[in-house]
Chains A and B, each alone.
Chain A
Amino acid sequence: MRARWTLRTVVLAYLGILIGLPVVFLVLKAFGHGFGAFWGEVTQTDALSALKLSLIIAAVAVPINTVVGVGAALLIARHDFIGKRIFDTIFDVPVAISPIIIGVSLVLAYSRIGWFGAPLARWGLNVLFTPLGVALATMSVSLPYVLRSIVPVLTEIGQDQEHAARTLGAGRLRIFWNVTLPSIRWAVLYGVTLTIARTLGEFGAVLVVSGNITGVTQTLPIYIYDSWDQRFDVLGSYSGALVLALISVAVLSILAVLRRRERKLLVDFA
C-alpha cells in the first residue's frame, strides 16, 4: 500500500513539474496584465497577419496532403507493387528527422543556390524567404498523418464489400464514394485533424526557409518566437502561445471523440 502511494506521488510530482505547473503559469503570464492586454496583443497587426498566413498555408497544405494521404493509403492497403515498403517509409521520413533538416534540404533544392534554382528563378519562383517556401516546408512535415490514420482501418475492414459492389457492377469511383469512403470517414477526419494541428504549429522547418519577414513569411509560431527573441515583447509571446495551446486542446478533444467512434485509431501519432 505504501509502495502504491509513493509511486503515485512520484508520478504526479513529475507530471506536475514537467507539464502541469508550466501550463498553469503560461495562462497566468498571458493574463498577467489583464484580459485587455492579452486581447490587445492577440489582435495587433503583426499577430493578425501571422494568423492569416498560417490559415492560408493550412488551406493549401491540408487538402493536398489529405488527397495524397487517401490515395497512398488505398495503394498501400489494396495493391501490391514493387518498392511498396520504400514508398511506405518515405512518408514517415519528414516527421522522423529534424525539421531543421527539412528546411535546409528545401533551400538546397529550390532556392537560387539549389539544384533547381536556376530554372525556377527563370519562372520567378524561389523558396527562400517566400510564402512558397513556407508552404512547401509545411506540406513536407505534415505529410504522413492522413495515411497513417487510414491504413490500419482499411486493412481491418477488408475488401469484401468492395468486391461485392464490383460484382454488382459499380465502377471504381462509385465504389470509393459509396463503399470505401463511408467506412474510413472517421479515420480520414482523424488524419485531417492531425494534419491541421501540425500545419498550424510547425516551426523549425518554416523558420529556416522563411527568413522571418513580418507580414510576408511570418506564421503564428514564428511570430511567437520573434516576439520573444527579437522584439522582446514577452507578453506577445505568451499570448500567442496561449492561443495555439488552446487550439491544441481543441484538437486533442476532437481526436478523443473520433477515437471513441473508431477503435483502430492510434493514440500515439507523432
Chain B
Amino acid sequence: MGGGGTLIVAYLSIIVILPIAAMVSHGFSISIGTKGAWFEFWRWHVAFGFRTFWDAVTAVGARNAILLSLWLSLAVATINAVMGVAIAWVLVRDRFFGRTFLDSVIDLPFALPTIVAGVVLLAIYGPDSPIHVDLFETWMGLMLALLFVTLPFSVRSVQPVLASLDLDSEAAARTLGAGTVRTFVSVVLPSLWPSVLAGFGLAFARAIGEFGSISLIAGGIPRTTTASYYIFNLTSGFLWTDAAAVSTALLVISLIVLVSANVFSRRFQRRLL
C-alpha cells in the first residue's frame, strides 16, 4: 500500500477504529481493581465485565428506549417503503407541471442538517403550531421526524430501477386483459421489490440511530426517549460506562441491519455499506 496507505490507515485508526474499540471495551469494563494472577484478572473481567454491560442494557430506561427505537424504525421504514414506491412511480411515469421541482425536493431531507429538520418540523407541528397540531413530546412527532429524514432512501432506492423497467411487458399484460392493479402486482412489483427492500434496510438503519431531528421534538420525557436520546442523557450525567454499553448494543443492531441489507442487495449490484 505504500507510505500514503499507511498514513490513511493511521488516520482511520485514530478517528474510527480505536475509538470504537475503546467504547466497546469500556462497555464491558469493571471499575474495581483486581489482584492476583493474570488468569484471575481475566476471569473477573469476563464475568463482571459482561455483568456491567448486561445491567446497563437491560435497565428499564434502556430497554424501553431500545424497544421504542425498534418499533418506530420498523413502522417508519414500512410506511416509507410504500410511499417511496408511490412517489417514485409519480416521478418516473407521471407527467405534470412541477415534476422536476418535486424530484429535487426529495433530496432536501438529505441535505438539511438534522437539527434543522427538527426545527423545520417544530415550526408547524410544535407547541406554537400555526395549524394547531401540537406533536411535541409525542411518538407521532418522533415518527414524523423519522419519516422526514428517511424518505430519500426509500424513494432513491426504487426510482432508478423503476425508470429502467421495460414497458413492453406491462403493455403485454394490459393487452392480455390485466387491470392497472393486477399489472402492477404481477409485472412491476416482482422486479421492483429487491430495491424496495434495500430502501427499507437503509431507512431502518438510519431511523434506529437518528438523533438530531428528534432531539427537540422528543422534549426529554421518558415516553419519547429513543435509544440515541437515552445514550445522550447518560452522557449528560457522565455515566460513560452505561453510555458505552448501550452504544455497543445500538452499534450491533445497526450493523446487523446494514449487513443483512447489503447481503441482500449485492444480488442486484448496489452497495449499501
Binding site for B on A (CB under 8 A): 3-4, 7-8, 10-12, 14-15, 18-23, 25-26, 28-29, 64, 68, 71-72, 75, 79, 81, 87, 89-94, 96-110, 113-116, 136, 139-140, 143, 197, 200-204, 207-208, 221, 224-225, 228-229, 234, 237-238, 241, 244-245, 248-249, 251-252, 255-256, 267-270
Q: Are B124 and A224 in contact (CB under 8 A)?
A: no
Of B26, B90, B128, B235, the contact of A208 (CB 8 Å cutoff)? B235
In the complex, residue of chain A having the shortest beta-carbon distance to the beta carbon of B89: A7
Q: Are B232 and A201 in contact (CB under 8 A)?
A: no
Report chain B residues within 8 Å CB of A267: 107, 156
Q: Are A108 and B19 in contact (CB under 8 A)?
A: yes
Report the minimum CB–CB distance from B194 to chain A (whole Å). Answer: 16
Minimum-distance CB pairs A-B, first 3: A201-B113, A98-B209, A105-B19
At the interface, yes or no: B22 with Cβ under 8 Å from chain A?
yes
Which residues B1-30 have CB closer than 8 A to chain A? 1, 4-5, 7-9, 11-12, 15-23, 25-26
Task: List 14 A–B pairs whose Cβ atoms lie within 8 Å, in order of A's numbering.
Answer: A11-B86, A23-B120, A28-B130, A71-B8, A98-B250, A99-B212, A100-B209, A104-B240, A106-B19, A140-B15, A204-B228, A224-B115, A225-B215, A269-B110
In the complex, residue of chain A having the shortest beta-carbon distance to the beta carbon of B107: A252
Report the minimum CB–CB distance from B72 to chain A (whole Å). Answer: 14
At the interface, yes or no: B94 with Cβ under 8 Å from chain A?
yes
Task: Summarize B's interface: helix, strand, loop or mixed.
Answer: helix
Q: Are B12 and A90 in contact (CB under 8 A)?
A: yes
Question: With A8-B96, A18-B151, A256-B104 as given contacts, are A115 and B22 in contact (CB-CB < 8 Å)?
Answer: yes
Report chain B residues within 8 Å CB of A20: 105
Of B96, B128, B235, most buried by chain A (CB within 10 Å of CB) is B235
Report chain A residues within 8 Å CB of B210: 98
At the interface, yes or no: B52 with Cβ under 8 Å from chain A?
no
In the complex, residue of chain B having the shortest beta-carbon distance to the beta carbon of A94: B16
In the assembly, what is the distance between CA of A15 and CA of B84, in Å? 11
In the complex, residue of chain B having the shortest beta-carbon distance to the beta carbon of A239: B119
